[in-house]
């Protein structure tokens, strides 16, 4: 899989600033970041180590009233964090690491990051981890991997005994 595949399949930018930064694990730092960006912080029960439960973002998103640009940006940031589980998911599928939150501070600058290359790196790291003998589960952008396999390895795609015919589309 290449960066071009990631750009085509997910539509993510592959050129731009690297997605880097410190990975802080203290609850106080997480709380401060959430207060800065969302004006509310998760409780300790809404977190699992350095991960925030998706239910917290969903409930926050549902409570935001879209009255001005600040609230719209908070709403979009919630969606980005929820979408982040597809790109940078963990094995549980119920949490997202908060290390990406500082990258969302400058709302206009979010597009400047090379999210596609970061996603590909995360996939490669997940593929390396899954080669360990004692590994039982895989995390990472599995949607990307499965879509790539479907496109690039057509012999893996199911062969339909009953091909659907769409007469309007065939014109």
H or E segment and range at residue 150: helix 142-152
pLDDT for 8 equals: 92
Candidates 12, 48, 26; CA nearest to 122 is: 12
What pTM does this model have?
0.77
pLDDT for 96 equals: 85
Burial bucket for residue 161 (CB in 10 Å: 0-12, 13-18, 19+): exposed
Cα gap 8→1, rounded to integer Å: 11
Alpha-carbon radius of gyration of the chain: 19
User: Any idea where the domains of the chain sit in the sequence?
Assistant: 3-156
Chunked into runs of 10 residues, the chain (171 residues) has average pLDDT values of 92 90 82 92 91 92 93 92 79 82 89 92 90 84 88 77 57 45
pLDDT for 170 equals: 46
Cα gap 55→78, rounded to integer Å: 11
Cα gap 126→23, rounded to integer Å: 18
Residue 17 structure tokens: 């600033």
Sheet of 51-53, strands arranged across: 47-48, 51-53, 95-97
């Amino acid at each position: 899989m290449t960066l071009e595949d990631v750009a085509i399949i997910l539509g993510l930018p592959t050129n731009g600033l690297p997605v880097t930064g410190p990975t802080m694990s203290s609850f106080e730092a997480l709380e401060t970041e959430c207060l800065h960006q969302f004006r509310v912080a998760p409780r300790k029960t809404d977190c699992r180590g350095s991960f925030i439960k998706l239910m917290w973002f969903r409930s926050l998103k549902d409570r935001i009233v879209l009255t001005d640009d600040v609230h719209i940006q908070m709403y979009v940031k919630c969606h980005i964090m929820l979408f982040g589980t597809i790109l940078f998911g963990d094995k549980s599928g119920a949490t997202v690491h908060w290390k990406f939150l500082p990258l969302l501070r400058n709302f206009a600058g979010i597009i400047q990051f090379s999210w596609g290359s970061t996603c590909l790196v995360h996939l490669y790291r997940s593929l390396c981890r899954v080669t360990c003998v004692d590994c039982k589960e895989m995390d990472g952008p599995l949607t990307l991997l499965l879509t790539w396999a479907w496109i690039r390895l057509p012999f893996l795609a199911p062969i339909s005994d009953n091909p659907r015919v769409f007469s309007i589309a065939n014109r």
